[in-house]
A = this chain, B = another copy of it.
Amino acid sequence: MDEVATISGQVTELAYALDTFYFLVTGALVMWMAAGFTMLESGLVRAKNTAEILTKNVGLYSIACIMYMLCGYTIMYPPDVGSGVFSSLATIGGGLLTSSDHTVEEVIASGGDVYYSGLSDFFFQVVFVATAMSIVSGAVAERMKLWSFFLFSAVLTGFIYPVQGFWKWGGGFLDQLGFLDFAGSGVVHLCGAAAALAGVLLLGPRKGKYGPDGQINAIPGANLPLAALGTLILWLGWFGFNGGSELIVSNVGEANSVALVFVNTNTAAAGGLIAALLLARLWFGKADLTMALNGALAGLVAITAEPLTPEPLQATLIGAVGGLIVVAAIVMIDKLKIDDPVGAISVHGVVGMWGLLAVAFTNNDGDFWGQLGTQAIGLVTIFAWVFFTSLVVWFGIKKIMGIRVSEEEEYEGVDLSECGLEAYPEFSAAE
């Protein structure tokens, strides 16, 4: 029987290793989304503001990683809250000043409750908070001061995001209410969009975006191949984002679940892209590439709240509705003179709300309206918390150091004033 116990222990260790490796691979895919946002945003701004948006993206990712390590993770998964895997991970994570992790004895004694490395959990979580912050940079592009943005990044990733993350994923009151948000249509995407909206409202539109007679001027992005590349990077990264959020893969049922999440994530994006492209064609008369790209992202955001329950055809429809919504939302938000150069508030905010509410169709235990209400509570809670705290923080930064570059700097482009260099010094601008 000793031999059997040895083998049993080996099997437990092997499952732990597989789940940890799965977590690290999917986490690396989510980290890759940082490149997706960087390319998407740098493709959608004008050439003269490109170096600065690149700097913002790589900077915010780094700030997110450090702030979440220093305090965010502990706020979101506090050691004394929750039970089972969460509390022990949080103990490990406390400030991440230690590199200790689960021992073999702990793993085997847990009877399956401890099934992956605590550090792999931290890695997976830290790239999520960076994703939320990446959403903000696009919306405030082309006119915000670089260092004000970085200061806000530190507050969002170290405090605002973790608090609402705790409410749902840390076992807080939204989780206990029955609010469902599998991989973060709310916790990540709506969070980022709410913070962005607060910033954009205080910041005001770019010069020349809205004319004196009420006309809306399109300001086309300088490099659409980069925008397409960014979208495809995000699409790939989303397999990690949603696929890793199952948190376990090591048995038949869980492996099937992860596979279904991959299939649904992919098909929701496809549905969103096609729907947005068709709607743009019908509405504007042209197959607008940027709408198609935003449609794919909308499909991805929409399915993120629940990629595991829908059948693939349902997932396609959930994504497609997201694609329709995003086109309408971009037009509407522009009419409201809320200037969001990349459509981030529409994609992640408006469609994030759709994703949260759509969960009630597929996961309602027979009580559609009840679940819809719960989803609405979560939605409003996340939005209200992030929007108002962000507004306060943005307002404070505005008072202290300002948030908007000078008119002349905006005209010349923020690349020169903020970064001291140009993104494309040899390619002459066709003004």
Contacts and interface: CB of A to CB of B under 8 A. Distances in A.
B430 A426 contact: yes
A28 B29 contact: yes
A231 B426 contact: no
Given A35-B232, A256-B102, A428 B425 contact: no
Interface stretch (A218-226, A345-353, A384-392): A218-226
Interface residues of A, number: 132
Nearest to A70: B313
A207 to B, nearest CB: 17
Contacts of A286: 418-421
A173 interface: no
A201 interface: no
A379 interface: no
A429 interface: yes
A236 B35 contact: yes
A259 B407 CA distance: 47
B422 A220 contact: yes
Given A4-B3, A58-B293, A424-B223, A39 B259 contact: no
Given A16-B252, A17-B254, A430-B427, A271 B66 contact: yes
A273 B61 CA distance: 10
Interface stretch (A19-27, A80-88, A182-190, A396-404): A19-27
Interface string A281-295: 100111111101100
A287 B55 contact: yes
B62 A274 contact: yes
A424 B126 contact: no
Given A120-B262, A229-B229, A289-B421, 10 more contacts: A11-B14, A16-B252, A35-B233, A38-B229, A55-B287, A58-B232, A58-B289, A119-B260, A222-B426, A426-B429
8 cross-chain pairs, A with B, having the tightest CB-CB distances, nearest first: A286-B420, A62-B270, A35-B232, A119-B259, A101-B256, A120-B259, A20-B255, A117-B259
19 contacts: A3-B8, A4-B4, A7-B7, A14-B14, A16-B252, A24-B258, A25-B25, A35-B229, A51-B224, A58-B296, A59-B287, A62-B273, A62-B296, A97-B312, A119-B259, A120-B259, A122-B263, A222-B424, A427-B430
